[in-house]
Chains A and B, each alone.
Chain A
Amino acid sequence: MNYHWDWGVFFKPTGIGSEIYLDWFMTGLGWTIALALTSWIIALFIGTIIGVARTLPNKIIANLAAGYVALFRNVPLLIQLFIWYFMVPDYLPESLELWFKQDINPATSAFISTVICLGLFTAARVAEQIRTGIEALPQGQINAGLALGLRLPQLYKDVLLPQAFRIIIPPITSEFLNVFKNSSVASLIGLMELLAQTKQTAEFTANLFEAFTLATLIYFVLNMSLMLLMRKLEKRVQVPGLIALGGK
């Protein structure tokens, strides 16, 4: 089999506008980052609520939250994505359904579906970490907060969550990195994020080794930078005497 190596391929014009292939990668990276960050915000917000709910004394609420976690952790991400993208829109109120299917462009609808899907999927994992973090705190901290007259919401907001967040930074970092990797499923519903752009470049140029090598490099560098960023954050909020839970 003949293979024509050409590492300069990224600087060649794509033939579409004045773009070179590197531009495709950058556009893709932009989508990947936008997907991941938006999903992460949703995941942190909902994950915190679910995680807190799992530790509440009210058994009904705690069980509902546990059900959420079990459901979203045991159905493959891709099925969840298909449900959000292909199925849910059919059951929306008519005006919303038309808006989703006709008014907005396909990239936007794929983006919305992926963000909801990844956000809720990751929320289940974040919730588990939050719960672990809260349960790792000594009962005495809860007693001390209550003895001072704090009410339950205040106890969580001022005493438990600030400590739990600090000790779960290492394990939650890996969830943060996972969002970036998992966002690649968006390529399967036609969103031109990094992986989709890579595939497209490979198909256009036939230089698939170069294309995929560049893509893995971008993911690798992205991953390492995010890890460094999280380490910095960890140092920054570090408090003497508080130890972090071991990360995986």
Chain B
Amino acid sequence: MDFSNILPALPSMMDGLWLTLKLTVLSIIGGVVIGTLLALARLSKYKFLAMAAGFYVNYFRSIPLLLVITWFYFMVPFIIGWVTGTNRPVGALTSCLIAFMLFEAAYFCEIVRAGIQSISKGQINAAYALGLNYRQAMQLIVLPQAFRKMMPLLMQQSIILFQDTSLVYAVGLMDFLNTARSRGDIVGQPHEFLLFAGLIYFIISFGASSYVTYLKKRTTV
């Protein structure tokens, strides 16, 4: 094993890492927003809305992320073509972003739903009694409390998402893993670069999950 070639390759791998982080952060934001809307839909009094959201969540939770990534890679250009009537190609980054957001939304939805349900009915009643409407009650009273409670779970899911972004390898996106792999192949040291990539993922994930554990401890005391 010879790790001396990693240092010169660092700048290009940083580009890959940057893409991985961008993918992670944007997917978290999109996933949480869509997931929250889905959670509100699942808890809605309109039966049809609740059922549709429930089906969405169950469906995405029962198929592999890799399948969604691959499918969207093929499909998104078609759909955009149909919708806009043009034939402009879309990059793998866009299709992956959409895939991650829609897929993760199903998982974030369940976390948010549990968070909302953990807020006592009394809080909602109190909000209504003050004259707030549904939107205000959710936005000002319920969701802020719910999000504080589910922070550890949301972060845990985000760490899983961070690791899962490496699956974009399947559609050839140059994320951190893929960059490291190609640099390793170029210098003929694939093993060293693979291990290095694993180490970086480990440090980030482990650091983040240690922080989550710390948060959990602090909030339960």
Contacts and interface: CB of A to CB of B under 8 A. Distances in A.
Interface of A: 1, 3, 70-71, 73-80, 82-83, 86-87, 90, 177, 181-185, 187-188, 195, 198-199, 202, 208-209, 212, 215-216, 219-220, 222-224, 248
B194 A86 contact: yes
Nearest to B60: A216
A76 B61 CA distance: 19
Given A78-B169, A82-B194, 9 more contacts: A83-B194, A86-B190, A86-B191, A87-B195, A184-B66, A184-B67, A208-B74, A216-B67, A219-B64
B201 A76 contact: yes
A223 B166 CA distance: 24
Given A74-B206, A75-B202, A86-B194, A223 B177 contact: no
A66 to B, nearest CB: 12
Nearest to B178: A78
B81 interface: yes
A87 B191 contact: yes
Given A185-B66, A248-B110, A209 B75 contact: yes
Nearest to B166: A76
A219 B65 CA distance: 11
Interface of B: 59, 61-67, 70-71, 74-75, 78, 81-82, 87, 110, 163-164, 166-167, 169-170, 177, 181, 190-191, 194-195, 197-198, 201-202, 205-206, 209
A115 B87 CA distance: 42
Given A79-B166, A86-B194, A177 B206 contact: no
A81 B59 CA distance: 26
A171 to B, nearest CB: 13
A222 to B, nearest CB: 8
Nearest to A227: B62
B201 A224 contact: no
A83 B195 contact: yes
Given A79-B201, A216-B63, A219-B67, A202 B78 contact: no
Given A181-B63, A224-B62, A79 B71 contact: no
A214 to B, nearest CB: 11
A59 to B, nearest CB: 19
A183 B63 CA distance: 11
A78 B69 CA distance: 14
Contacts of B167: 78, 185
A70 B206 contact: yes
A90 B191 contact: yes
A75 B164 CA distance: 10
A184 to B, nearest CB: 4
A67 B127 CA distance: 47
A220 B70 contact: no
B74 A83 contact: no
Nearest to A87: B191
Contact of A75 (B67, B75, B181, B198): B198
Contacts of B177: 76, 78-79
B64 A79 contact: no
Nearest to B74: A208
Contact of B65 (A73, A75, A181): A181
Q: Which of A79, A82, A83, A182 is packed against the most chain B CB atoms within 10 Å?
A: A79
Contacts of A223: 61-63
Given A1-B82, A188-B169, A188-B170, A74 B66 contact: no
Given A1-B82, A78-B177, A212-B75, A87 B87 contact: no
B62 A199 contact: no
Contact of A216 (B59, B164, B181): B59
Given A78-B166, A78-B177, A3 B66 contact: no
Contacts of B81: 1
